[in-house]
Amino acid sequence: MTKDKDNKDTELKDPTITSPRTAEEPGPKAEKGEDSCCTPQQKGADKDEEERSSFIPTILSLILLLFGIGLDFFDVEWFKGYLRLIVFGVAYVLVGGKVVQHAVTNIGKGNIFNEFFLMTIATVGAFYIGEYAEGVAVMLFYVIGEHFQKAAVARSRRSIKALIDNRPEEVSVLTNGQVSIVNPKKVNIGQIIQIKPGEKVALDGEMLSESSSFNTAALTGESKPDTKKKGETVLAGMINLDRLVELKVTSGYEDSALSKILKLVEEASGRKAKTQKFITRFAKIYTPIVVSLAIGLALLPYFFVDTYVFDEWLYRALVFLVISCPCALVISIPLGYFGGIGAASRNGLLFKGSNFLDLITKVDTVVMDKTGTLTEGVFIVQEVKVRSLEKDRFLALTAALENKSTHPIAWAVVEHSGNAYKQLKVQDVEEIAGHGLKGTVDGQELLIGNAKLLQKFNISYAPEIEEIVETIVVVAIDGKYEGYITIADKIKEDAALAIKQLRDYGIDNIVMLSGDKDSIVQKVAGQLKIDKAYGGLLPQDKVDKVEELKKQGKKVAFVGDGINDAPVITLADVGMAMGALGSDAAIETADVVIQTDQPAKIATAIKIGKKTRQIVWQNIGLAFGVKALVLTFGAFGVASLWEAVFADVGVAFLAILNAVRLQRIKF
């Protein structure tokens, strides 16, 4: 259950994230009475099937239009009268029926002046004066533009069911010594469940076994596994790394940690701002002006022209309306964005909607996760410090014992040491929960673990150990402290360059949020010269930080890679995910995917967005300029309908060339 604004319990519905910036769906959730057109309302597979089938009427309309134009061109004798009207009429209804229906519906709601109304009266006017092909072409071009727009953002409409599917569908319940496989939704609080090595925890619970290590990255984003001991809480979404463990369930399925992340994603998607299409805003001003001018053009000459003939001036008014239809504008705007999306793809960036190219140019604050975004997300030995032994011997002894552990930190030591440890004999290995390992290697007694391990055996060690920020492996041999190995997550090669480039593009507020230990987070932030950094955060904490920034009026881009980042990626004005190694949840909820996992691509995305915006406005200016010129000629009877068509086609062609230019620019 979740809470609504009135603090009433409401059932959590299956959350579906749709693109908040598509031409047909201007928000993540359709509000009552929201202005949209030709939008299938089904979800999931039904909706996908509906979208695929929507191409069929468009194709049929195009075929009929070309067929009709061909017969007109060759002046075929039998293609006259009602037959010609029927062919073009069917072509018109196939692509324009829903637009006309939407215009009529809007009129009933008092929303008259929009692009749907303008296209409707312009195309009906074209049919009235016998220019059927133009009437069909206007609607066809509009619908084709919508298809392109939907294709560009199709991936961002996917449901976050991928996140839900990451939760285990089965759990092993222990009852009276017998194990049974049960759906986690049916498990009650207080029941005992078993988690095998490598298995994901399905429900929050209290640890009943002595100890085990868990991968907690899905919840905290921290790269270091967490050792849980008896009595401690284990959360749903963690992965058991070591041994078979038993948990006593402490919360129901819908109240588990992972379920709460899902709720956060749903709530964040609902708070994400809607962006109205430029053409819609423009049409509210443009449409009443051109309709008024057309009416005036048809009627006012009666008072000033001695040879006034109503049909002649009505024809001019209809030509004026047809010319005024924003067909070229409708084409030129998405073309520029498609060019930007194509350029981004060539540079390893996937924009899930054309409007994100606009939004990213307005970003003034970039917030980043640490692990997997600015760092590699893998443990690497940073420093080896030895007191008396040779370094190679020290590493070989340590690796020989660590090789008996399944802990990722142990693997990092073994990977770094080489192959010499394989020749050493290891005996009497004992794991001391929460501390480390004890064993005999080549006749020497080794203790390997944290500082608490040496304290347990009353072995003194260098005071500097307490001041080390990184994960540390302390080693004692035959009862004496011998040295230590520091292990840390490696900073990505281009991370420093990414920060510099962001500052070059005017981003003066760079923040890092991480579930990792705060001391480590602050050290990484210092190395990269990040403005502010916060460590030890859970998903809700990250959401709170970003909401705080947005309340300050900041335009926030967030970059992350894990399931735990999904809610804040969705909430940010522009959510970005690392695509190569990132989780499916982060990638599906993101607005922009960095397919190469390079943080320097954040600045590249901003640069492409700015260049795209520049070219789009060039296309808009060109469309307006030519339109105004032809409208003037049409009002004075100088321009015919075909000249208007030619002007539209010319503008569209120039817009295409301008958009293609984007793909040739090196970013």
User: Which range among 128-142, 341-355, 430-444 shows the weakest confidence by mean pLDDT?
Assistant: 341-355
- Structure confidence at residue 28 (pLDDT): 31
**DSSP codes joined into one string, 378-394:** EEEEEEEEESSS-HHHH
Catalytic residues: 369
Cβ within 8 Å of residue 556, ≥6 positions away: 363, 365, 366, 367, 546, 549, 550, 572, 573, 574
Burial of 534 (0-12, 13-18, 19+ CB in 10 A): middle
pLDDT band at residue 485 using 50, 70 and 90 as cut-offs? very high
Coil, strand or helix: which one is 560? strand
pLDDT band at residue 596 using 50, 70 and 90 as cut-offs? confident
Coil, strand or helix: which one is 317? helix
Q: Any alpha helices (H) in 347-475, and if so which ranges?
A: 354-359, 391-402, 408-417, 451-456
Cβ within 8 Å of residue 541, ≥6 positions away: 513, 534
Would you say how long the chain is, in residues?
667
Query: How far is it, in rounded angstroms, from Cα 635 to Cα 454?
Result: 93
Is the predicted pLDDT of residue 327 greater than 80, yes or no? no
Q: Which of 151-155, 519-523, 528-532, 655-659 has the highest mean pLDDT?
A: 528-532
Is the predicted pLDDT of residue 634 greater than 50, yes or no? yes
pLDDT band at residue 454 using 50, 70 and 90 as cut-offs? very high
Q: Residues of the chain with pLDDT > 90: what percent?
A: 33
Backbone φ, ψ for residue 219 (5° rounding) = -105, -40
The answer to whether the pTM exceeds 0.85 is no
Average pLDDT of the residues in 71-90: 92
Cβ within 8 Å of residue 354, ≥6 positions away: 21, 149, 152, 153, 334, 337, 338, 340, 341
Average pLDDT of the residues in 585-612: 86
- Structure confidence at residue 84 (pLDDT): 95
Q: Using one digit for the tens of pLDDT, what is the confidence trace for 567-581? A: 899 899 999 988 755
pLDDT band at residue 158 using 50, 70 and 90 as cut-offs? very low
Is the predicted pLDDT of residue 300 greater than 70, yes or no? yes
Specify the DSSP class assigned to residue 418: -
Compare 367 and 353 and report the one with higher pLDDT. 367
Average pLDDT of the residues in 38-65: 68
Burial of 282 (0-12, 13-18, 19+ CB in 10 A): middle
- Structure confidence at residue 580 (pLDDT): 58
Q: How does the average pLDDT of the chain come out, rounded?
A: 80
Q: Which two tokens stand for residue 272?
A: 């994400």
- Structure confidence at residue 35 (pLDDT): 45
User: Which range among 26-40, 146-160, 169-183, 487-501 shows the weakest confidence by mean pLDDT?
Assistant: 26-40
Order of strands, sheet of 233-234, starting from the edge strand that comes earlier in the sequence: 178-182, 171-175, 192-195, 245-249, 205-207, 233-234
pLDDT band at residue 220 using 50, 70 and 90 as cut-offs? low
Average pLDDT of the residues in 58-69: 94
Is the predicted pLDDT of residue 306 greater than 70, yes or no? yes
Number of Cα atoms under 13 Å in the Cβ half of residue 211: 12
- Beta carbons of 106 and 118 less than 8 angstroms apart: no
- Beta carbons of 398 and 475 less than 8 angstroms apart: yes
Cβ within 8 Å of residue 206, ≥6 positions away: 231, 232, 233, 234, 247, 248, 250
**E-state strands within 67-182:** 171-175, 178-182
